[in-house]
Amino acid sequence: MPRLIFSRLAQIVVTAAILSFCAFMLIALMPGDPIDLAIAGDPRLTSEDAARLRELHGLDQPLLGRYLAWAGAVLEGRFGHSRLFAQPVAALLGPALLSSLALLGLALGLAVGVGVSLGALAALRPATSPWVQGLALVAQAVPSFWLGILLIILFAVQLGWLPAGGEGGWRFLILPVVTLCFANLAAYARHATAALSAALAEPHIRTARAKGAGERRILLRHALPNAGVPLLTLAALDAGALVSGALITETIFARPGMGKLMYDAVMGNDFNLALLALLVVAVVTMLATLAADLAQRWLDPRLA
């Protein structure tokens, strides 16, 4: 187990390093650098100023040297400043990460809760199974940004019950959480149906039933723990999709999370912020995948 954790952590570090290198190079190869942007913003800058600024910020150095200097600074915890927000990047990332984690946690919890309930319904009452499968098929195909717009039109514009966007109390969370949850609900419902049907067909369920255990106890104590392993596999595989969904949801509902921060940074040509936000998002996603993998091995020691 410790060996597994160590090798997986090493993989995450390597992936993050390769990702940062590729993204840095692609961005640096683009025509125009921050000094060009500064010139565009202030016509009084002369070409001598530009050359002096390039030297000051090391932009006249070869690419590899610039990457190594940047990576070294990041490893020392110096994340630099955001051009777009005129703030230290570190001060922007913290609150955004917290906001995103709240959204992601609630949406994942709701998706698992509703998905597993639907799966249990389909597994226990086969007559409902086609309906659950149909709902899952449709839910899987709904573009989440469309669902978000429709929810805004219905609940914010027409009915006026909920705010259309922004961040505040719990009322601001309802629509984004429902939007993000719906996109991920389908996979959980389908997998829960399959896993619970398989678990309910096993001999130990018959034994429990023969011993007089109630249906509720059979489902909760005997079938669900066994069905939990494939669901955790799904959670591990879907971590990236969930984070991708958060970017869309945050953009539609104007929530200041990591996804929106990254999107704003990309749109505002603030590539230092975009790159660091991407790295944080990627590392957190990979750590979440690792956590789900470990939980799965803890639940089913045969996998370890």
Partner 1 sequence: MRLGLALLGMLMLAALAAPWAGLALGHDPFMPDLFKRFEAPSATHPLGTDELGRDLLLRLLHGARVSLTVGLLAALAATAIGTMIGLLAAWRGGVWDAILMRLADGLLALPALPLLVILAALDPAVVGLPRGEAASDILRIAVLLAAFGWVGVARLVRASALSVLARDFVRAARAMGVSEARVLLRHVLPELAAPIAIATALAVGGAVLAESTLSFLGLGIAPPAPSWGNMLANAQELVFQAPLAALWPGLAILLTVLACNLVADGVAKGGGAGT
Would you tell me which residues interact with partner 1 (CB under 8 A)? 11, 15, 18-19, 23, 26-27, 29-31, 137-138, 140-143, 145-147, 149-150, 152-153, 157-158, 237, 239-241, 243-245, 247-248, 251-252, 259, 262-263, 266-267, 274-275, 277-278, 281-282, 285-286, 289
**Closer CB to partner 1, residue 285 or residue 296?**
285
Tell me if 209 sits within 8 A of 145, measured CB to CB.
no
CB of 143 to partner 1, least distance (A): 5
Q: Which H or E element spans position 88?
A: strand 87-88
**Closer CB to partner 1, residue 223 or residue 247?**
247
CB of 215 to partner 1, least distance (A): 30
Long-range contacts of 81-87 (CB under 8 A, 24+ apart): 81/272, 82/265, 82/270, 82/272, 82/273, 83/34, 83/37, 83/268, 83/269, 83/270, 83/272, 83/273, 84/264, 84/265, 84/268, 84/269, 84/270, 84/273, 85/270, 85/273
**Closer CB to partner 1, residue 50 or residue 266?**
266
Could you tell me how many residues make up the chain? 304
CB of 55 to partner 1, least distance (A): 24
In sequence order, what are the residues at sequence separation of 6 or more whose Cβ sits closer than 8 angstroms to the Cβ of residue 180? 103, 104, 107, 111, 144, 242, 245, 246, 249
Q: Please tell me the distance from the alpha carbon of residue 172 to that of residue 247, in angstroms, as a whole number.
A: 16
CB of 5 to partner 1, least distance (A): 15
Q: What angle do CA 279, 282, 287 make, to 5 degrees?
A: 120
CB of 182 to partner 1, least distance (A): 12
**Closer CB to partner 1, residue 156 or residue 213?**
156
CB of 206 to partner 1, least distance (A): 28
CB of 213 to partner 1, least distance (A): 34
**Closer CB to partner 1, residue 222 or residue 270?**
270
**Closer CB to partner 1, residue 18 or residue 51?**
18
Cross-strand bridge partners of residue 285:
none
Q: Please tell me the distance from the alpha carbon of residue 236 to that of residue 246, in angstroms, as a whole number.
A: 16
**Closer CB to partner 1, residue 56 or residue 64?**
64
